[in-house]
Amino acid sequence: MTKKYLITGGAGFIGSNYVHRLLKRGENVTIYDNLSRTARNIEWLKQEFGESAFNLIVGDVRDAQRITESAQGADVIVHLAGQVAVTTSVINPRDDFESNALGTFNVLEAARLSGKNPILIYASTNKVYGGMDDVELFEEPTRWRYKDLVNGCPETQPLDFHSPYGCSKGTGDQYVRDYARMYGLRSVVFRQSCIYGTRQFGIEDQGWVAWFIIAAVMGKPITIYGQTGARYSFCG
């Protein structure tokens, strides 16, 4: 049976790839996105599946009323919309807070009030773990690895929000977990890091693997910021 999916940030890199997968298996999809990054993925989805294969709501997650109306009847909400660059969050922390912390709160309230107890999936970040200074690293010929965390961070890894982006995403992360405790919302938090792939329009501030490739192909210079061996990445 097909389900009704609401994908916030569905015009973005992760969102459009996921929407592509959902449409391929015949699901009912609504994208909710303010198109602040690019509309190119929407055009691609229309080319792939046709103009009317999905619903598009050009809306902002800061708009509580609009997102609440849009979430009515959804079986699954995948919340990917937000301000995505650490650098931008440092320059304009209020905008970052409003899109990520308040925006996620608005999506949670929309889910709670939707009357269907939807599944809610939230795209969090490894920035919630901070500098992880107590975690030992070692260098291999082609990469750095954690010495003890061979499978990555466990759920028991202490939280230590770093940067306005880390704080705003971490606020959303904790709210999403608490809505499961308080309201029985069936929510899942993914703490992702430096994802890359097709349909990612990387820029110097965010999506740096894609940006390196774009810059290399277009003959643009690549700037390396920070110190050698710095532990902090500037990717989502």
Ligand X SMILES: NC(=O)c1ccc[n+]([C@@H]2O[C@H](COP(=O)([O-])OP(=O)(O)OC[C@H]3O[C@@H](n4cnc5c(N)ncnc54)[C@H](O)[C@@H]3O)[C@@H](O)[C@H]2O)c1
Residues with active-site annotation: 165
Query: Which residue in 13, 6, 130 sits closest to 72, CA to CA?
Result: 6
Q: How far is the CB of 85 from ligand X (least distance, A)?
A: 8
Considering only 48-56, 81-89, 146-154, 175-183, which stretch makes contact with ligand X by CB under 6 A?
A: 81-89
**Nearer residue to ligand X within complex by CB, 43 or 136:** 43
Contact criterion met (CB below 8 Å) for 211 and 202 = yes
**Nearer residue to ligand X within complex by CB, 60 or 114:** 60
Q: Which secondary structure element, helix H or strand E, spans residue 106, and what is its range?
A: helix 103-113
| Bridge pairing between strands 119-125 and 137-139 | unpaired
Contact status: 14 vs ligand X (CB under 6 A): yes
Any residues with CB less than 8 A from the CB of 69 and at least 6 apart, and which?
Answer: none
Binding to ligand X, residues 17-56 (CB under 6 A): 33-37
Out of 22, 54, 74, 83, which residue is the one contacting ligand X (CB under 6 A)?
A: 83
Q: Which amino acid is at 72?
A: Q
Q: How far is the CB of 131 from ligand X (least distance, A)?
A: 17
How many C-alpha atoms does 102 have within 13 Å on its Cβ side? Answer: 13
Place of tokens 């880390």: 166
Q: Which amino acid is at 158?
A: P
Q: How far is the CB of 180 from ligand X (least distance, A)?
A: 19
Contact status: 84 vs ligand X (CB under 6 A): yes
Contact status: 88 vs ligand X (CB under 6 A): no
Binding to ligand X, residues 128-167 (CB under 6 A): none
Q: Which amino acid is at 76?
A: V
* Residue ranges binding ligand X (CB under 6 A): 9, 11-15, 33-37, 60-62, 80-84, 99, 103, 123, 125, 169, 192-195, 235-236
